[in-house]
Chain A
C-alpha cells in the first residue's frame, strides 16, 4: 500500500513544486518506488522541474477519462528508474478533475508504489482540496512571510476538516517545511524566524530549506535540486526526506553560513 503525501501551501510561488520534485527524487534515491502527480491542472510545472516536459504524451485527466492507461501516462524519470511523473493537463478545464476520478487513479496506483506525492495547486479551493483529499500525510510548505503563514494556517484548517481522513474522524500527520529561509535577514529582524513560524502554526517541523541559488540552477536544467548534493538546498531537502521516513537528523542551515577553512582558502562562493 502506497503512502499518499500532499504538498500544499495555500499561497502560490512558495516552493511546492520544487519540494514535490525534491522529496520525490529523494525518496527514489533512497530506494522507494515513488510517483509524483501534478494536480495543477492548466499550469503544469512539475514536468519542467523534473526535466521530462518533452516526454509528456498523456496526463492525469486522460487517465481519469479513460483515454489513456496509467502505464501510458506515467513518465519514468531519466535518473531513477523507480521514479515516475504523472503530469497535469495543460489544456482541459479544471472541472474534468473529479473526486471519483482521483480516487480511481490513486487506487490503481496503490499497489504499485511505496509513495505517491501530490503537488497541489495554489489556493484553498477545489483543486487544492482534491489534491489533499486522499492524503495519508501532508507537507505544508511555508515561507517566513505574513501571507504565506496565514495561508498555511487556512490550509491546516482544511486538512483537519476536508480530507477523507478527517471525515472518518482520523487526523493525518502534518509536517511543516519552511522554505526560502534567509538567516541573514532573520538576524537583522527583517524576516520571521523559524521559531516564530513554528510557534504560530504549531505543526511539527520536517525541515528548513534555505533561500538558495542552487534551486534556480536546478530548475533551469530540469534536475530536482536534491540531486545537487553539494548545495545547501539539496542537502536540506535530503535531510527532510530522511526525517519524513522517521530518521532523526539534526537541523542545518538555520544560522548564517560560517565559511570553513577550505572555502576561505580557495575563495568559493
Chain B
C-alpha cells in the first residue's frame, strides 16, 4: 500500500534535511556575494550599447567577474543572432 510505504521509509532526521538545504542555498548565495555592486548596472549598459548595433535579447549579454590570485578577469559574452546569408 502506497500510504504505508510513505511511513515505512527509513526516516531522515529533520536536522539533516535542514543541513542539506542550508548547504545548497548558501553555496548559491555566496557565489553572488563576492560580485561588486556595479555588475548588474554594467551588464545593463553593455546590453544597451550592443543593442545599438545588433538585436539581442536580455539574456544574450552575460557579464562575469572572476577573481584570480593577482588580478580579476571581467568576461563579456555576447551571443549574436544567426546571420541571414544574403
Report which A residues bind B (CB closer than 8 A).
Answer: 145-146, 149-150, 153-154, 157, 161, 186, 188-193, 196, 200
- Closest CB in chain A relative to B52 CB, distance in Å: 34
Chain B residues near A191: list those with CB within 8 A.
15
Query: Do A150 and B15 form a contact, CB below 8 Å, given A157-B30, A157-B33?
Result: no
Give CA–CA (A149, B20) in the complex, Å.
12
Give CA–CA (A161, B30) in the complex, Å.
13
Interface string of B14-36 (1 = CB under 8 A from A): 11101101110110011001000
Q: Determine whether the beta carbon of A189 is less than 8 Å from that of B15.
A: yes
Q: Determine whether the beta carbon of B15 is less than 8 Å from that of A200.
A: no
Q: Determine whether the beta carbon of B13 is less than 8 Å from that of A150.
A: no
Closest to B25 in A: A150
Given contacts A189-B14, A190-B14, 20 further A-B contacts (CB under 8 A): A146-B21, A149-B22, A150-B22, A150-B26, A153-B26, A153-B30, A154-B29, A157-B30, A161-B33, A186-B15, A188-B13, A189-B13, A189-B16, A191-B15, A192-B18, A192-B19, A193-B15, A196-B18, A196-B19, A200-B26
Give CA–CA (A188, B30) in the complex, Å.
30
- Closest CB in chain A relative to B2 CB, distance in Å: 25
- Closest CB in chain A relative to B62 CB, distance in Å: 23
Chain A residues near B19: list those with CB within 8 A.
192, 196, 200
- Closest CB in chain A relative to B17 CB, distance in Å: 9
Chain A residues near B33: list those with CB within 8 A.
157, 161
Give CA–CA (A157, B28) in the complex, Å.
13
Chain A residues near B26: list those with CB within 8 A.
150, 153, 200
- Closest CB in chain A relative to B65 CB, distance in Å: 14
Chain A residues near B14: list those with CB within 8 A.
189-190
Chain A residues near B13: list those with CB within 8 A.
188-190
Give CA–CA (A188, B11) in the complex, Å.
12
Q: Determine whether the beta carbon of A146 is less than 8 Å from that of B22.
A: yes
24 interchain pairs, CB-CB under 8 A: A145-B18, A146-B22, A150-B22, A150-B25, A153-B26, A153-B29, A153-B30, A157-B30, A157-B33, A161-B33, A186-B15, A188-B13, A189-B13, A189-B14, A189-B16, A190-B14, A190-B15, A192-B19, A192-B22, A193-B15, A196-B18, A200-B19, A200-B22, A200-B23
Give CA–CA (A168, B26) in the complex, Å.
26
Give CA–CA (A206, B44) in the complex, Å.
44
- Closest CB in chain B relative to A152 CB, distance in Å: 10
Task: Choose from B15, B25, B29, B30 the contact partner of A196 (Cβ within 8 Å).
Answer: B15
- Closest CB in chain B relative to A10 CB, distance in Å: 12
Give CA–CA (A157, B30) in the complex, Å.
8
Give CA–CA (A252, B39) in the complex, Å.
46
Chain B residues near A154: list those with CB within 8 A.
29
Chain B residues near A189: list those with CB within 8 A.
13-16
